[in-house]
């Protein structure tokens, strides 16, 4: 049976693809998005890639009135609205705490008041910190970090108590969180708050810890795409240098007139 579904942050990269999938499955979709200029540009216009059938409510997730309008009559909520990016969170701390933590609290109050039965919240791989490693004896090691002196020496490897390099291993979902940034802290807060409220109000809640996601509609100016933008730029630069090299070789082989 078709449902009315709300996606917060729905005009963004992941949210818009989800909207397409839900519409294709026959659901009605409403999007709440503040069209942040860092992602959507200074004009804050409705993105051209949004499906015409997707209803867009332009508003901030911290705005109770906007959230109240957006959540009216919905059967499920996908909560993707957030400030994203680890590095930026370390100098825009108040903004990240406000949008991610306070914004989620505003949404959860609305979910409880409207008796929405289903909530899916986007958490992040960042809650795992450095992930899981094994030391030289094969013992599983958690919570290891690089101190400032090690970073100054440009020693990027994680090392055990014996000074030997640790070996990365698959990180289990049950790993104890290691919150190394304000972003990670707020994403963990989002998932825990949602799970707590879900249990208290009988809402079925799922928290998804997204890893690096990339694809069409992704804004390269978005801090989330930092490493992917670097990889893409290097690949493009390498391809451009290769084309220049081939062109030079071709020119050198042409007969002189």
Given a contact cutoff of 8 angstroms between Cβ atoms, the answer to whether 127 and 175 are in contact is no
Q: Residue 199 burial by CB count (10 A; 0-12/13-18/19+): exposed, middle or buried?
A: exposed
Report the C-alpha gap between 166 and 159 in whole angstroms. 5
Residue 210: closest CA among 127, 124, 130, 128: 124
For 229, the token pair is 């933008």
Reduced to 3 states (helix: H, G, I; strand: E, B; else coil), residue 155 is coil
Reduced to 3 states (helix: H, G, I; strand: E, B; else coil), residue 76 is strand
State yes or no: is 183 an active-site residue.
yes
Catalytic residue among 183, 188, 224, 242: 183
Report the C-alpha gap between 163 and 135 in whole angstroms. 10
Give catalytic residue positions: 183
């Amino acid at each position: 049976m078709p449902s009315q579904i709300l996606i917060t942050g729905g005009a963004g990269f992941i949210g818009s693809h989800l909207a397409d999938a839900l519409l294709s499955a026959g659901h009605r979709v409403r999007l709440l998005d503040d069209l942040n200029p860092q992602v959507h540009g200074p004009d804050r216009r409705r993105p051209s890639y949004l499906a015409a059938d997707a209803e867009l409510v332009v508003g901030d997730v911290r705005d109770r009135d906007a959230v109240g309008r957006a959540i009216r009559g919905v059967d499920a909520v996908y909560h993707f609205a957030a400030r994203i990016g680890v590095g930026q969170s370390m100098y825009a701390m108040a903004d990240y705490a406000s949008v991610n933590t306070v914004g989620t609290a505003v949404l959860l109050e609305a979910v409880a008041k409207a008796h929405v039965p289903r909530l899916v919240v986007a958490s992040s791989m960042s809650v795992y910190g450095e992930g899981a490693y094994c030391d030289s004896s094969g013992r599983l090691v958690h919570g290891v970090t690089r101190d400032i002196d090690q970073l100054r020496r440009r020693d990027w490897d994680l090392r055990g108590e014996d000074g030997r390099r640790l070996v990365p291993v698959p990180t289990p979902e049950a790993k104890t969180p290691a919150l190394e940034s304000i972003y990670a802290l707020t994403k963990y807060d989002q998932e825990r708050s949602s799970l707590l409220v879900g249990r208290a109000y009988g809402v079925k809640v799922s928290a998804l810890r997204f890893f690096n996601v990339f694809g069409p509609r992704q804004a390269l100016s978005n801090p989330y795409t930092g490493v992917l933008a670097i990889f893409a730029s290097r690949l493009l630069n390498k391809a451009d240098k290769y084309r220049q090299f081939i062109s030079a070789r071709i020119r050198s082989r042409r007969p002189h007139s």
